[in-house]
Structure 1
């Protein structure tokens, strides 16, 4: 069997192809692993963002509930204020009607205040007799006027009480309103953050899909080139076996040729021995090699 020059060239070309294919395969493997790592990193980031947005949604729901509760409380006290104002108006109208009927041009509460001041002055100050007499007459007159307002005192007390309740209810409603404003700001900030995270998640999902697509493409290309490498390795193995067979055949033929030559020379030496001719050093070596081969 003789190894053809064309086979040698093909074997050489295949080895060159294998070297080139391995380089491509290594490059594709790096590319494939790069996109896989990027995809996994984006997957992890996506998980963290989703976890964050879930927590934000819980907080947002809590804030929404807080806003609802605060609005209910604020509206409750605002309604209470309106109801108290209506009661205040009715009592004020009742007070006005009474004052118009009795021709009293002063508020009974003012009269009470004046009486208390005069009484305090008489009790605490050392007044001249005439001055004290004058104040006593004034006090008597005021008490007389106050007696005429006996029917309206309850109305005045009710007005005073309602006025205090209105102030208290307004303050309470305002307190809830201030808390509500803060809750609205918190909710607005939370909504803004929620929208930012939603956009990030949408964008990252798109990027992850692209990374996954590129990973799949690189994986397919890697598999394709890997199959080509296997094919070339099989071709290389086929030519290697063929080459080994050719070399083996050459070696066998060479061995046979040497044996034949040795046998021929041996016969010549044996013939010399029979004819008692002188043996040369070369003849002795031939004879020795023949003995070695026969062992």
Structure 2
């Protein structure tokens, strides 16, 4: 803080005034430095806050996916267990069907045979063709129906040995569901892992941001303390400066009054002695 004595000359006051304005400039510079550091710090803390919110959101999404994986695994495991429990029966039925199929000349599945029959029948109904061609197609349809009849015989043969053909179909469907369920587990697990990796990536970013944040926070606190100290000195000096301006103004006014009074005495003495008055004397006498 700038210090002065109460009995102040104009020269001393001017020196004090200069020091006071220097202190004011220092306060302004300190404030600007503090605010600049604060803006940098705020920018980093905002980034940290945004990433923390992102991590929270990703964790919720990951945890939800993890629950889905757990649920899907149970479904998959139940299906796999059914496949395992029926694997012996499945092999028995498949082998028996293969054995019976080996005894007949059928190269297509019942489904493909039915589709081919429907296609050929539609062709006969919708296309204009020579009788010979229509006859050939009709013959093909008859042969296909004969093959389809062979499948019916196969099913009857399976039933005769106590095997339900639909059971084989059901077992295949269960196995297919188990495979699809496993694929679904993998897809959801991959999504969960992706979320987890993203969380770790953001954690690394947060680590770097906190390294950046620490020195800025320390710098800001130091600059804030410096600003507060300078502000305290400035406030005290400002009060003293205003008091001294007022005090100096009163003293100057009293000095001027005294000088005018003395000048009037001199003029009166000149007039008493009959001396010639100057313009300055006349103005002083009229004051």
Question: Shorter chain as normaliser: what TM range?
Answer: 0.5 to 0.7
Aligned to 1:68: 70
Whichever structure has more helix as a proportion of its residues is 1
Q: Does 1:231 align with 2:242?
A: no
- Contact 1:73–1:176 (CA under 8 A) maintained in structure 2: yes
- Answer with 200-209 or 256-265: which moved more: 200-209
Q: 1:157 to 1:110 in 2, by over 3 A?
A: farther
Q: What corresponds to 1:86 in structure 2?
A: 88
Q: Give the length in aligned residue pairs.
A: 235
Structure 1's 24 and 8: CA in aligned 2 closer, same or farther, altered over 3 A? same
Structure with max Cα Rg: 1
Mapped to 2, the partners of 1:237 and 1:206 lie a distance apart of: 47
Change (3 A) 1:23 1:4: closer
Alpha-carbon separation, structure 2, partners of 1:257 and 1:9: 25
Which secondary structure state, in structure 2, belongs to the residue aligned with residue 157 of structure 1? coil
Q: Structure 2 length as normaliser, TM-score? A: 0.65
Call closer, same or farther: CA 1:191–1:284 in 2, change over 3 Å: closer
Alignment of 1:49-68 (within 5 A): 49-68=51-70
- Residues 216 and 92 (structure 1 numbering): CA distance in 2 closer, same or farther, change over 3 Å? closer
The answer on whether the counterparts of 1:42 and 1:208 sit within 8 Å (CA) in structure 2 is: yes
Q: Report the CA distance between 1:48 and its aligned residue.
A: 2.5
Please list the CA deviations of residues 241-273 of structure 1 after superposition, one character each: whole Å capped at 9, or x if unmatched: 45435433431332122111111122234xxxx
Residue by residue over 1:83-123, the C-alpha shift from the partner in whole angstroms, topping out at 9 and shown as x without a partner, is 11122456799x8xxxxxxxxxx945655x37xxxxxxxxx
State whether residues 108 and 153 of structure 1, in contact with CA within 8 Å, keep that contact through their aligned partners in structure 2: no
Counterpart of 1:216? 221
Which residue in 2 is equivalent to 1:177?
182
Is 1:167 the counterpart of 2:169? The answer is no
Q: Distance in 2 between matches of 1:151 and 1:177?
A: 35
What residue number does 1:251 align with? 256
Matched with 2:35 is 33
Distance in 1 of aligned mates of 2:13 and 2:278: 45
Aligned to 1:131: none
> Cα deviation per residue 1:196-242 (whole Å; 9 max; x = unaligned)?
22333444355445444433322221111112122333443454445
> 2:161 aligns to what SS in structure 1?
helix
Q: What CA distance in whole angstroms lies between the structure 1 residues aligned with 2:173 and 2:6?
A: 113
Q: 2:51·2:202 contact (CA, 8 Å) conserved in 1?
A: yes
Task: Please tell me whether the aligned partners of residues 84 and 162 of structure 1 are also in contact (alpha carbons under 8 angstroms).
Answer: no
The alpha carbon displacement at 1:193 in A equals 0.6
Shift of 1:12: 3.4
1:267 aligns with 2:277: no
How well do the aligned residues superpose, as a CA RMSD in angstroms? Answer: 4.0
In structure 2, the residue matched to 1:188 is 193
Q: Distance in 2 between matches of 1:286 and 1:55?
A: 90
- Corresponding residue to 2:49 among 47, 50, 53: 47
- Following superposition, the deviation at residue 186 of structure 1 comes to 1.1
Deviation per residue, 1:151-209 (Å, 9 max, x gap): 98543634x54443332222211111222222222111110111122333444355445
Relative to structure 1, the CA distance from residue 167 to residue 289 in structure 2 (aligned partners, 3 Å threshold; closer, same or farther) is: closer
Aligned match of 1:157: 163
